[in-house]
Structure 1
Amino acid sequence: MPRVFVYGTLRRHEPNAFRLNEAVWLARQAWVSGRLYDTGYGYPALVLDVRSDRSSASSHTGRVYGELVEVSENALAALDALEGYAEGRRDNHYDRVSVCVHTDTGETETFAYVYPVERATGLKPIAFGDWKVYRHLPDPTKEASAGSATDRQADGSDTWLYFAYGSCMDDRRFETDGVRELFRDVVGRGVLRGHTLAFTRRSQADGMGRADIVETGAPHDVVEGKVYRIGREALRYLYDREGVQKGAYRPTFVDLEIGGETVTDVVTFTVVAKGPETPPPPHYAEEMLRGARGFVSEKYYEFLFNKCRI
């Protein structure tokens, strides 16, 4: 069955996702080398990067994030019609081409609908190469007057649910940094399925590991953590703490179980350039365990305790 990399309105919980109701979703944390632009018509345009994928190996610059799905031949034909593509036609709106898609478990060749580079001239680049982040989150790295259009995300919300699975489960650094009040609203325990926790980021400060979520797709793999309701100021703090501008972590969305119910599009952060696992420093492990103690399940706490000793 054909596989397709979707990066715009076809992504899960986006306006055209219903067209993929019969599809098999293989990965939500996927990327290709390229640039993403806002067409101004409510959908983005992907322009492939003609350089080697090595140019995107160490930062999110030059990456476009999306999801990998498997579809039927009939569904692929329907997507061709939606994207204005016909094989052999010269005036396609999008071209369907084969691309190398990277996931947390490896690489694969798949289809993607792309814009010719010359048609992207003058279009607005999308920060971080992520349409969902662009649509649903403000860019807290840019100053804007309160209440202005650029101060709010596209859907008009003022708060978001945020999933903390590492040191941000602990309150102590929030207090030290003077932001404890921004993280008072704890919604509950979040359970992220199909992922595992790993220390894939080696800190430049001490050469030791920091926590990450790695998508495996295995239903028995879970990551547990705290879910907060946060506002713009807290989001700005997290962007700085997670080194988003430096390409350390990137914002993304996940679906969680909270209190036995599925909650969609919860904000979290994941490592951009995932490396071999490196043990965390004692102070970082202590923060994670202190924040998790009495909050996550006993089974997961035991896993976390043993994981911090790798």
Structure 2
Amino acid sequence: MSVTRLFSEISNEPSFYYFAYGSCMCPVDLKRSLGESTHHYVVGPATLTGYRLGFFRKSERRNCGVLDVVKESQSAVEGVLYRLPQRLSARLDEREIGYHHEAIGVHCQGRLYENVRTYTVCEKLSQEIAPNDWYFSVVLRGAYTCGLPEQYVWQLFDHMHRLQQAQGMGQMLKSA
């Protein structure tokens, strides 16, 4: 199938916009859940204003802290905007157990996209929990692969690294 025909079919299929800010930024990881390649659904890097990132949920499956976005007026979250076929909506919901839909607006390629789906944690923890090394690397791979600003990628790296260090210190103190 030619690339032109593929994009033509994608544009005619009912779809929705989805803003990913965690492990779903990585098209390879998203493919694992959705069952098909997602690279061609990437619109581009996007910015969500009025929110900040935090690790306010513990994933039992991954046994670590996972990302969430929380409202904070002076902050912004970088992520990836996808245009996904509607037929993948239920699979995305299954992946995001413990999260609920939130309709947001994001800026991507000089344009405001409104009524974009993202997911926020239903029951937020009061403290952040560090990601494990696997989640850490998937988030960074997605951020880098999809072209998020370099400064933001470094801030993300630093935030996750500091959480891991703090958690490691707490574990060392508990075992002493």
Match of 2:82 among 219, 228, 244: 228
The percentage of counterpart residues that share the same residue type is 31
Partners of 2:108 and 2:62 in 1: how far apart?
Answer: 35
3-state SS of paired residue (1:296): coil
Q: TM-score, normalised by structure 1?
A: 0.45
1:217 alignment partner, SS class: strand
Report deviation, 1:206.
Answer: 5.0
Give the counterpart of 1:299 among 151, 157, 160.
151
1:288 aligns with 2:139: yes
Out of 28, 43, 56, the residue aligned to residue 187 of structure 1 is 43
* 2:60 pairs with 1:209: no
Give 5+ residue unaligned stretches, structure 1. Answer: 1-156
Alpha-carbon offset, residue 202 of structure 1: 1.0
| Match among 22, 25, 34 for residue 169 of structure 1 | 25
C-alpha distance 238-190 of structure 1, shift in aligned 2 (>3 A): same
Which letter does structure 1 place at the counterpart of 2:121?
V
Query: 3-state SS of the aligned residue for 1:273?
Result: coil
Q: Which has the larger radius of gyration?
A: 1
Deviation at 1:175, TM superposition (A): 3.9
The count of corresponding residues between Structure 1 and Structure 2 is 148
Gaps of 5+ in 2: 1-12, 164-176
Query: Mapping of 1:105-254 within 5 angstroms?
Result: 158-177=14-33, 179-181=35-37, 184-218=40-74, 221-243=75-97, 248-254=98-104
Q: Partner residue of 1:73?
A: none
User: In 1, Cα distance between the equivalents of 2:93 and 2:33?
Assistant: 14
Cα-to-partner distance string for 1:243-297 (whole Å, 9 max, x where unaligned): 1xxxx10011111111122221111101011111000111111100001015100
C-alpha displacement of 1:240: 0.4
The corresponding residue for 2:118 is 268
Q: Give the corresponding residue for 1:114.
A: none
Structure with bigger helix share is 2
> Contact between 1:169 and 1:291, CA under 8 Å: does it hold in 2?
yes
AA matched with 1:291: G
Per the normalisation by structure 2, the TM-score is 0.78
Contact 1:183 1:230 (8 Å CA) reproduced: no
Q: Displacement, 1:210?
A: 0.5
Q: Which amino acid aligns with 1:267?
A: R
Tell me how large the CA RMSD over aligned residues is.
1.8
Distance 1:285 1:237, change over 3 A: same
TM-superposed CA distance for 1:182, in Å, is: 5.0
